[in-house]
Amino acid sequence: MTPFDRRLCVAPMMEWTDRHCRFFHRLLTRRALIYTEMVTTGAVLRGDRERLIGFDPFEHPVAIQLGGCDPRALAECARIAENFGYDEINLNVGCPSDRVQEGRFGACLMAEPALVGECVAAMRAAVAVPVTVKCRLGVDDQDPEAALEAMTRSVVAAGAAALVVHARKAWLKGLSPRQNREVPPLDHARVYRLKAAHPALPVVLNGGVGDLAAAARHLEHVDGVMMGRAAYHEPWRLLAVDPELFGAPAPFVSPKAAAAALLAYVERECARGTRLYAIARHLLGLFHAVPGARAFRRHLAVEGVKSGADARVLRDALALVLDSATDLAQTAA
């Protein structure tokens, strides 16, 4: 297993952090811990496993996030995921969508800490890799002090290796999942207090972390920070993770150099029948304040969706971007 720590994690995001996205993110940072989208136990047990949870070994360290509330099913899925090679198994106790509420898992489990403890204990008994939980501060009219404390005690007693806390409540009725990521107020101080009350438990703070400077500030209070939307929409930020948070060299001198390194993967995937845009859509935010960034996006959005589009479209799109680190050096030479 690749050694990892949780100082910087890229959040699980449905329909966003698929295997192509994760491969791309891994080019930008060798150290961040990256998460899959949530996969339900039903899907893992009955679906096309290779398609649902298969991943490229280059993605390590990578955690799978499971959604479910049946300890036996979760234990079985954890075992399957460990055999696939995942480095960590995470249980979703934060997703507020209606579909999830019908299944009685996700955020509504905030009201059932004892059951979450049983789930964690069952998964722990099934695998050797760490089992972690991602939760909210509470749901609906729960008191966030008591609800988060009860959840923490239960998962610590069950042997969870870390707790990721999305630092806002979820409102189970009346808000869409998207609103539930924006409307309930953030309370980072509550997560700091949690860490102070449980110094031995690795605590990862999530929610509203927009840049690495903010991440570094949170790291003075907690063990790890999880970035979601900022990492996805502005993946160029990930290139600074290794030098700024881990004291390690950046994998590439520039976002353009990282994208160029993705071309071989794109060629391989397109040859297997993957549509270019399934990969390229994750790159749209790669360039920031760089001449040609808009032309790059437009080229991918227009040419990348055409049938038969392949790595050449990405190569042409990249040629539209001035890479301050390499192109200027070449111009000067």
Ligand X SMILES: Cc1cc2nc3c(=O)[nH]c(=O)nc-3n(C[C@H](O)[C@H](O)[C@H](O)COP(=O)(O)O)c2cc1C
Minimum CB distance to ligand X smaller for 34 or for 126: 34
* Residue 95 a catalytic site member: yes
Which CB, 185 or 291, lies closer to ligand X? 185
Among residues 11, 110, 293, 321, which is the contact residue for ligand X, using CB under 6 A? Answer: 11
Task: From 9-17, 149-157, 233-241, 302-310, give the range in contact with ligand X by CB under 6 A.
Answer: 9-17
The residue written with tokens 């870390």 in the block is: 162
Question: Given the structure tokens 């997703």, which residue do they identify?
Answer: 95
Residue 136 binding ligand X, by CB under 6 A: no
Binding of residue 208 to ligand X (CB under 6 A): yes
Q: How many residues contact ligand X, by CB under 6 A? A: 22
The residue among 10 and 311 lying less far from ligand X, judged by its C-beta, is: 10
Nearest to 74 by CA among 13, 36, 120: 120
Told to check if 229 binds ligand X by CB under 6 A, we report yes
Single residue of 184, 228, 235, 292 touching ligand X by CB under 6 A:
228
Among 40, 132, 206, 254, binds ligand X (CB under 6 A): 206
DSSP secondary structure letters along 141-167: T--HHHHHHHHHHHHHHTT-SEEEEES
Query: Of 151, 145, 143, which Cα lies nearest the Cα of 120?
Result: 151
Cα 54 to Cα 34: distance, rounded to the nearest angstrom: 14
Closest residue to ligand X, based on beta-carbon distance: 228
**CB closer to ligand X out of 100 and 250:** 100
- Per CB under 6 A, the list member of 25, 30, 124, 166 interacting with ligand X is 166
Minimum distance from CB of 122 to ligand X (Å)? 20
Q: Strand 88-93 relative to strand 203-206: parallel, antiparallel, unpaired?
A: unpaired
Give the position of tokens 């995001």: 13
Q: Which is nearer to ligand X, 38 or 80 (CB)?
A: 38
Distance between CA 260 and CA 255 in Å, rounded? 9
Q: Looking at 21, 95, 119, 135, which residue is catalytic?
A: 95
Binding to ligand X, residues 106-135 (CB under 6 A): 134
Q: Binding to ligand X by residue 181, rule CB under 6 A?
A: yes
- The correct pick among 207, 224, 255, 304 for binding ligand X (CB under 6 A) is 207
CA distance 292 to 257: 15
Q: In the chain, count H helices and then E strands.
A: 17, 8
User: Comparing C-alpha atoms, which of 52, 22, 133, 26 is closest to residue 88?
Assistant: 133
Site for ligand X in 71-90 (CB under 6 A): none
Residue for token pair 């102070």: 196
- What lies within 8 Å, CB to CB, of 113 at 6+ separation is 150, 151, 153, 154, 155
Say what angle helices 71-84 and 113-126 make with each other, to 10 degrees. 40
User: CB 226 → ligand X: shortest distance, Å?
Assistant: 7
Smallest distance, ligand X to C-beta of residue 100, A: 9
Q: Is 41 in the site for ligand X (CB under 6 A)?
A: no
**Using the rule CB under 6 A, which residue among 92, 132, 152, 254 binds ligand X?**
92
Burial (0-12, 13-18, 19+ Cβ within 10 Å), 307: exposed
Residue 112 or 323: the one with the smaller Cβ distance to ligand X is 112
Q: Which residues bind ligand X (CB under 6 A)?
A: 11-14, 16, 37-38, 65, 92, 94-95, 134, 166, 181, 206-209, 227-230
User: Would you name the residues annotated as active-site residues?
Assistant: 95
